[in-house]
Structure 1
Amino acid sequence: MGTSREATSVVKASTKYTMLSAAVLGALALVGCNQSTEEATTTADTEQKTEVQATDKASGDTVTIYSSRNEQLIQPLLDEFTKETGIPVELVTDDSGPLIARLQAESTNTPADVLLTVDAGNLWQAGQEGLLQPINSEVVNSNVSEKYRSVDDLWTGLSLRARTIFYDPAKVEPTDLSTYADLADPKWKGKLCLRTSKKVYNQSLVASMIEHYGPEKTEEIVKGWVANLAAPVFSNDTKLLEAIASGQCEVGIANSYYYGRILDENADFPVKIFWANQGEGTEATGTHVNVSGAGIIKNSDNVEGARKLIEWLSSDTAQGKYASSDKEFPVKEGVDESEMLRSWGSFNQDNINVSIFGQRQAEAVQLMDRAGYE
């Protein structure tokens, strides 16, 4: 006699719950000292959420999300998804690295259905590790441009973040600025601030430059950046922007949504945004744009629910809220941007497929090491 889906889910959830403690410990060991304190949850919180997941998973309907997104920003959207569809959601938050390590350790016993994370490099890595399965959604393919999706359909972008130039308007004129490469010019010596190369955001930026300019020219540019540093590299973009505001440096490179968060708290923050790589010429490739996005876990128990969630997050209903809640840009064309984003002006985006950021990630890391970029 056949076993019903609900009965199967109860058995699998029980098995997963029994094995999960060992899997969590293994995942934490893999992460080790590399775990960032920027967004990580405590072990106690994670264990508590895992227990809830294992219990709710028995229903066969709950979509369990492993997310590196800020819980305060994403939870209201998930609540709205549940309200509209009746599909319950469980959210487990941590940094991307620990989440990927955890999925590796849990293997077929994972309670997760969706990986929701930042940067195409992280999504690409999860795909390379065999942690994701094809989304297989015409809805997603229609809503999201091909350049913001995995070439093998393992993940899709859901919001856009621009990594561009910021400056002190008291010391720098917009006409002084042009491209990422120009920041390597000696005229910026002692005036440039950068975030650490250890963060995937800068790895993806350099990977895109390798794709456009080749490794030799890109290495020259990165060496020029290092020679122009006004201070040791910063651990995050917020500190970098604050350093520009305090006069520690005059220009820097950061993600636009960090700037938006600061403006939310201080509308008079004395730093301005400049869209890099506009205009004409070989370096006018457009401003570097990355994604936050999602994929369906290979060992998901609720593939249909996971697909519905990703489709919903790519829809008109969710896109404006999903993007503007974190000061990001909608990934779906034609969706209205927030008033703040519109105030920054329009810009030309880099049009290369974001999968390249992952494909060239290792090459970018090695190049930055050679250039002395810490």
Structure 2
Amino acid sequence: MFALPKSALAAAALTMTALPALAKDVNLYSYRQPDLLKPLTDAFTAETGITVNVAYLEKGMVERLQAEGKRSPADLVLTVDISRLSAVVEAGLTQPVHSDVLAANVPAAFHDPDGQWWGLTTRARIVYASKDRVKPEEVTTYEDLADPKWKGRICTRSGMHAYNVALTAAYLHHHGEEATKAWLEGLKANLARKPQGNDRGQVKAIWAGECDIAIGNTYYMGEMLEDPEQKEWADSVNIVFPVFEGDGAHVNISGVAMTKYAPNKDNALKLMEFLSSPEAQKIYAEANHEYPIAPGTEPAALVKSWGSFTADSVNLMELAKLRPAAVKLIETVDFDG
């Protein structure tokens, strides 16, 4: 396993190009920390004898792959959020993968119809609600977040963050441009403070009494409960699963795609199929506090304790297509201003 240094693209490209493309290797670029993937890669290597080299990138995956071109050692990319996956696809840096194993393990809503990317696990974009100041039944829909009853009571990270852009794209899918603009304006009017920080920072703000509810991803609850400093924040809130009127809760994914010039294509396919398997999904979901998507799989006990929900029925590729329009609306209402 290796980690890329924070260096210029050209230097990084040279470093990566120098890596050998061995018959028993597969090279993975990931926005996820290598230690989060280690239980998976170790299990895959134990089963197949194939070594997985993981390069962690903080940002710039598209730019790096473009700079490396045909010399890139990357076989697969693994990242979170449909917008990040679709960005790699739209840049022409992936190739379609068709596999009966993948098709059996990954429901249609969670993979590209053309096979350019395949989902692995999901997370819901939910509401964290103060145990002391909010009854769970007070928050039922995403639409409700624009209700004036929440004026001065909501915290969130930047509207331009990929997670909130995806949520806005989902709202746009369900309600159209004018209604989404009005919703963003209503949500902005209800903020207790200017958008800032990360999802865990919003829970800390609830704990500190700065706001009563916040928008965040489910898996952050698991991360906070494991951190002695942040456990008190987590204990101060309930997880509430809002839905879109007439549909389900907004979910996003972690997913994998094969690069256009994958030098170890056969090994890469084996790893993709393994990652989609119930065995790997269970390992990944437990390590990252996410929801497995393979049929017949169950979330970890902690995740299951947060409650059940029905996922929004929209195919995530539809949300990816709406991302530019969602960004434009967020900018139009000056959400972060």
Q: TM-score range by the shorter chain?
A: over 0.9
> Which secondary structure state, in structure 1, belongs to the residue aligned with residue 318 of structure 2?
helix
2:136 to 165, 168, 174: 174
* Aligned match of 2:31: 68
* Aligned match of 1:15: none
CA offsets 1:146-191 (integer angstroms, 9 cap, x no match)? 1000121100110101101111010111121111111111110100
1:318 to 280, 299, 308: 280
* Aligned match of 1:54: 18
* Aligned match of 1:16: none
2-structure distance, mates of 1:200, 1:42: 22
2-structure distance, mates of 1:255, 1:326: 12
CA contact (8 A) 2:181 2:333 kept: yes
Shift of residue 62, structure 1, vs aligned partner: 1.3
* Aligned match of 1:229: 191
CA contact (8 A) 2:82 2:316 kept: yes
* Aligned match of 1:354: 316
2-structure distance, mates of 1:128, 1:344: 35
Letter in 2 for 1:203: V
* Aligned match of 1:309: 271
1-structure distance, mates of 2:46, 2:12: 24
> Which secondary structure state, in structure 1, belongs to the residue aligned with residue 20 of structure 2?
helix
TM-score, normalising length from structure 1? 0.84
> Which secondary structure state, in structure 2, belongs to the residue aligned with residue 43 of structure 1?
coil
Whether 2:41 is the aligned partner of 1:78: answer: yes
1-structure distance, mates of 2:249, 2:226: 23
* Cα distance change on mapping 1:176 and 1:41 into 2, 3 Å: farther
CA offsets 1:104-135 (integer angstroms, 9 cap, x no match)? 11111111000001111111111111000011
Structure 1 residue runs of 5 or longer lacking an equivalent are 1-38
Letter in 1 for 2:198: N
Letter in 1 for 2:100: E
* Aligned match of 2:162: 200
> Which secondary structure state, in structure 2, belongs to the residue aligned with residue 76 of structure 1?
helix
Number of residues paired by the alignment? 330
Shift of residue 289, structure 1, vs aligned partner: 0.6
1-structure distance, mates of 2:11, 2:118: 28
* Cα distance change on mapping 1:49 and 1:76 into 2, 3 Å: farther
CA contact (8 A) 1:53 1:64 kept: no
Whether 2:241 is the aligned partner of 1:275: answer: yes
TM-score, normalising length from structure 2? 0.93
> Pairwise mapping of residues 70-219 of structure 1 onto structure 2 (< 5 A)?
70-95=33-58, 97-219=59-181
Shift of residue 40, structure 1, vs aligned partner: 9.2
> Which secondary structure state, in structure 1, belongs to the residue aligned with residue 211 of structure 2?
coil
2-structure distance, mates of 1:263, 1:159: 20
CA contact (8 A) 1:67 1:117 kept: yes
CA offsets 1:262-307 (integer angstroms, 9 cap, x no match)? 1223555211100101xxxx71421101100000000111111111
2-structure distance, mates of 1:40, 1:177: 43
2-structure distance, mates of 1:55, 1:128: 27
2-structure distance, mates of 1:365, 1:79: 39
Which has the higher Rg, Structure 1 or Structure 2?
1
* Aligned match of 1:262: 224
Structure 2 residue runs of 5 or longer lacking an equivalent are none
2-structure distance, mates of 1:165, 1:364: 20
CA offsets 1:317-372 (integer angstroms, 9 cap, x no match)? 11111112111000212112111111111111101101122111100000111122
Whether 2:34 is the aligned partner of 1:42: answer: no
CA offsets 1:213-260 (integer angstroms, 9 cap, x no match)? 111111111110101110111231111111111111001110001122
1-structure distance, mates of 2:16, 2:245: 51
2-structure distance, mates of 1:71, 1:50: 21
> Which secondary structure state, in structure 2, belongs to the residue aligned with residue 352 of structure 1?
coil
> Which secondary structure state, in structure 1, belongs to the residue aligned with residue 159 of structure 2?
coil
> Which secondary structure state, in structure 1, belongs to the residue aligned with residue 192 of structure 2?
coil
CA contact (8 A) 1:66 1:114 kept: yes
> Which secondary structure state, in structure 1, belongs to the residue aligned with residue 18 of structure 2?
helix
Letter in 1 for 2:185: K
> Which secondary structure state, in structure 1, belongs to the residue aligned with residue 92 of structure 2?
coil
**Identity over aligned pairs, percent:** 36
